[in-house]
């Protein structure tokens, strides 16, 4: 680093540090005062602090260019790159980056200060001022970030570094770089995932504190659910990619444990994280309303996913097909497009004018917007029509719809399963889970009403079971054999079930049909008022439904096809056939007898009379004495 860069660095740190110090001091003094005050009362102190932060950020932005004088020699993009032959203006980029860095630092400081004041100080005049600074500052922060990074983007090397390693030496890694033995590799992907999870935690904690008035209620829950999510993400990735990536490895089980080599799927992680978190919550915080908890915590996973998807950006993965930059993507910043021009695991590029469709970026936008749609658009706007628990179901439904609409656009390099059917099936499962959760809670609340139709849950279970049976027979909703060519053969459900190629599916088909009969018998006993017999048949029907579902989901490992392939990939029909019976059993759960908590027993009135009797006797004696 040359002398100019060192001087700029020192002055930049001093100025920025001083600005942050005075800003924190002003915020703390504003919060300490118990009187109702306006943010404008300290506008001078806040203004001076932000100006110092702006200046310090600009000086630090200039350090980047001053420390790399060789950048001035790069006047055009190199041959073979995305912008091959286009001119690079060093002075314009220097100014753009410096101004962007300064204003970005000032806007971020204003957003954080407003956030702290808005959520921590209740007595404040013109409360809308910090709120709109906080919300309105976000687009400005994005704009100045793009100015800053667009300035130095042409001078970076692509693919961008995606992590660093510690140990015998220190350095940065890329997707195309070799592994270095004896070092600990820290991937940006992991840091970004943890950052997203922390955002989910802080948002959820805020609403818990607002309702229960206690801090730290989710501390342990966050750790447990996060670890469960990581486990689920890895397990589901291994299961889905077993034949593509693990089955033929030298030691497949050790390879499955090598999580540092990459390989996580959000669909499995989110599901197991929710399940583990819910169970832990019920065991440790029994006084907490579980439906409030899932409505608050589960939708915030969308925020974590919106942030976490940017880990794919650094890993050059989850990209779409190759398109021309002028097909609607030229508005993106140069560093973003140059990364989209890279090929996964290689130092080679697609060539001039070509990029991958940034599916990870599209999904990040959809998931970020999805949280506000669910939390406020539906949670607030449709408050009269929803019940507690619906927002949890809407998360699964919404994310399933997002994934099922995006999977066909995925680059085949990043497919899961033999023909991307694994990701498509998971998306369908998410949709089914979402609809199941919503219907379960609405049905649960409906059955508590005095005029509820007692036969409705049974009819719903039968309808789901009939759909599960029929979906297996539709040729367009079946499965594909895992064969080596690029066009796997599609098998109809009828062909698989009744041709002897899949005996497991034949048995599961029979079990599901018997379960339908059992539910019909349940309705008969329920109509006749034979509650005991109805409950027994209900248990038999639900158990049969769960057994049939398990055989469908696990049966892919026991299919013997005539073409010699040893693996069968679940497709749409069999996926739904495995999910719908589970929800039929869940809906029937409400029909099982339960002991009501706090209900008075037969002996309680007698005890009350026994207590009141001596009092009446004493009153009679008192009257006689009078």
| pLDDT on residue 37 | 63
Q: Is the pLDDT of residue 200 over 60?
A: yes
Residue with the larger pLDDT of the pair 106 and 1? 106
Q: How far is residue 347 from each of residues 76, 267, 339, 417, measured CA to CA in Å?
A: 20, 30, 11, 26
| pLDDT on residue 262 | 61
Lowest mean pLDDT across 268-277, 314-323, 417-426, 515-524: 417-426
| pLDDT on residue 261 | 63
* Dihedral sign of CA atoms 331, 333, 335, 340 in order: negative
Q: Name 186's bridge partners.
A: 164
Condensed to tens digits (0 to 9), the pLDDT of residues 126-174 reads 778 888 888 899 999 999 999 999 999 999 999 998 888 887 777 788 7
One-character DSSP codes across 422-475: HHHHHHHHHHHHHHHHHHHHHHHHHHTSTT--TTHHHHHHHHHHHHHHHHTT-T
User: Residue 499 in contact with residue 543, Cβ under 8 Å?
Assistant: no
User: Residue 377 in contact with residue 197, Cβ under 8 Å?
Assistant: no
The closest of 450, 376, 452, 435 to 587, measured between CA atoms, is 435
| pLDDT on residue 602 | 40
Condensed to tens digits (0 to 9), the pLDDT of residues 375-430 reads 999 998 898 899 999 999 999 999 999 988 887 777 666 666 555 566 777 788 88
| pLDDT on residue 479 | 55
| pLDDT on residue 606 | 42
Residue owning tokens 């100080």: 121
Locate 196 and state its tokens.
Answer: 């997203």
Residue with the larger pLDDT of the pair 142 and 612? 142
User: Residue 151 in contact with residue 96, Cβ under 8 Å?
Assistant: yes
Locate 85 and state its tokens.
Answer: 């032959």
| pLDDT on residue 487 | 61
Q: What does the buried/exposed string (b/e) look like for 431-468 if buried means 16 or more CB atoms within 10 Å of the residue's CB?
A: bbbbbbbbbbbbbbeeeeeeeeeeeebbebbbebbbeb
Condensed to tens digits (0 to 9), the pLDDT of residues 283-295 reads 888 788 888 999 9
Q: Is the pLDDT of residue 237 over 70?
A: yes
- Residues 17/23/24/25 CA torsion (nearest 10 deg): 110
> What is d(CA 388, CA 289) in angstroms, rounded to the nearest whole number?
10
> What is d(CA 423, CA 451) in angstroms, rounded to the nearest whole number?
43
Q: What percent of the chain has pLDDT over 70?
A: 79
Residues in the chain: 626
The closest of 328, 329, 325 to 81, measured between CA atoms, is 325
| pLDDT on residue 277 | 85
Residue 107: what are its φ and ψ, rounded to 5°? -65, -45
* CB burial of residue 88 (10 Å; 0-12, 13-18, 19+): middle
pTM (whole model) above 0.85: no
One-character DSSP codes across 105-170: HHHHHHHHHHHHHHHH-SSEESTHHHHHHHHHHHHHHHHHHHHHHHHHGGGS-SSPP-EEEEESS-
Confidence band (pLDDT; 50, 70, 90) for 600?
very low
| pLDDT on residue 285 | 81
| pLDDT on residue 246 | 65
Confidence band (pLDDT; 50, 70, 90) for 599?
very low
> What is d(CA 118, CA 113) in angstroms, rounded to the nearest whole number?
9
23: enclosing H helix or E strand:
helix 3-32
Condensed to tens digits (0 to 9), the pLDDT of residues 460-469 reads 889 989 988 8
């Amino acid at each position: 680093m040359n002398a100019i860069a060192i001087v700029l660095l020192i002055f930049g740190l001093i100025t920025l540090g001083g600005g942050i110090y005075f800003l924190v001091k002003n915020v703390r003094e504003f919060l300490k005062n118990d009187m109702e005050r306006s943010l404008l009362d300290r506008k001078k102190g806040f203004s001076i602090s932000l100006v110092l932060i702006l200046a310090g950020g600009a000086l630090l932005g200039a350090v980047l260019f001053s420390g790399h004088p060789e950048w001035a020699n790069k006047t055009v993009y190199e041959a073979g790159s995305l912008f091959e032959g286009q001119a690079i203006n060093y002075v314009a980029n220097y100014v753009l980056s410096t101004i962007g860095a300064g204003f970005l630092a000032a806007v971020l400081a204003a957003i954080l200060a407003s956030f702290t004041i808005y959520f921590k100080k209740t007595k404040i005049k013109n409360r809308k001022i910090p709120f709109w600074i906080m919300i309105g500052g976000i687009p400005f922060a994005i704009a100045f970030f793009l100015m800053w990074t667009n300035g130095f983007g042409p001078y970076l090397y692509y693919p961008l570094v995606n992590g660093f390693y510690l140990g015998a030496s220190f350095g940065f890694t890329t997707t195309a770089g070799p592994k270095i033995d004896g070092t600990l590799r820290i991937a940006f992907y992991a840091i970004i995932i943890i950052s997203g999870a922390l955002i989910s935690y802080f948002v959820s904690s805020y609403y818990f504190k607002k309702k229960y008035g206690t801090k730290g209620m989710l501390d342990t829950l966050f750790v447990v659910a996060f670890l469960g999510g990581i486990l689920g993400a890895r397990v589901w990735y291994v299961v889905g990619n077993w034949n593509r990536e693990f089955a033929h490895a030298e030691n497949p089980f050790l390879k499955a444990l090598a999580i540092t080599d990459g390989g996580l799927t959000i669909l499995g992680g989110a599901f197991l994280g929710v399940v583990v978190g819910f169970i832990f919550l019920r065991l440790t915080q029994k006084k907490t309303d579980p439906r409030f908890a899932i409505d608050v915590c589960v939708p915030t996973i969308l925020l974590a996913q919106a942030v976490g998807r940017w880990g794919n950006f650094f890993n050059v993965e989850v990209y779409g097909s190759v398109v021309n930059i002028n097909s609607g993507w030229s508005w993106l910043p140069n560093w973003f497009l140059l990364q989209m021009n890279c090929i996964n695991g290689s130092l080679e590029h697609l060539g001039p004018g070509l990029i991958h469709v940034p599916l990870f970026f599209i999904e990040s936008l959809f998931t970020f917007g999805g949280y506000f749609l669910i939390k406020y658009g539906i949670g607030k706007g449709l408050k009269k029509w929803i019940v507690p628990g619906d927002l949890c179901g809407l998360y699964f439904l919404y994310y399933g719809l997002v994934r099922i609409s995006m999977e066909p656009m995925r680059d085949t390099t990043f497919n899961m399963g033999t023909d991307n059917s694994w990701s498509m099936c998971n998306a369908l499962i998410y949709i089914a889970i979402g609809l199941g959760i919503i219907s379960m809670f609405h049905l649960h609340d409906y059955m508590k009403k005095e005029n509820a139709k007692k036969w409705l849950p049974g009819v719903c279970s039968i309808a789901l079971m009939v759909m599960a049976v029929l979906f297996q027979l539709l040729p367009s909703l079946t499965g594909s054999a895992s064969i080596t060519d690029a066009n796997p053969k599609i098998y109809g459900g009828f062909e698989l079930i009744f041709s002897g190629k899949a005996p497991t599916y034949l048995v599961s088909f029979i079990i599901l049909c018997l379960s339908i009969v059992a539910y019909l018998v349940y309705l008969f006993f329920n109509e006749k008022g034979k509650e005991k017999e109805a409950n027994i048949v209900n248990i038999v029907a639900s158990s049969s439904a769960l057994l049939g579902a398990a055989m469908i989901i696990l049966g892919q490992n026991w299919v013997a096809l005539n073409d010699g392939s040893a693996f069968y990939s679940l497709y749409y029909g069999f996926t739904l056939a495995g999910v719908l019976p589970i929800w039929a059993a869940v809906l029937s759960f409400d029909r099982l007898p339960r002991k009501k908590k706090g209900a008075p027993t037969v002996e309680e009135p007698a005890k009350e009379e026994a207590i009141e009797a001596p009092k009446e006797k004493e009153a009679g004696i008192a009257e006689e004495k009078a």
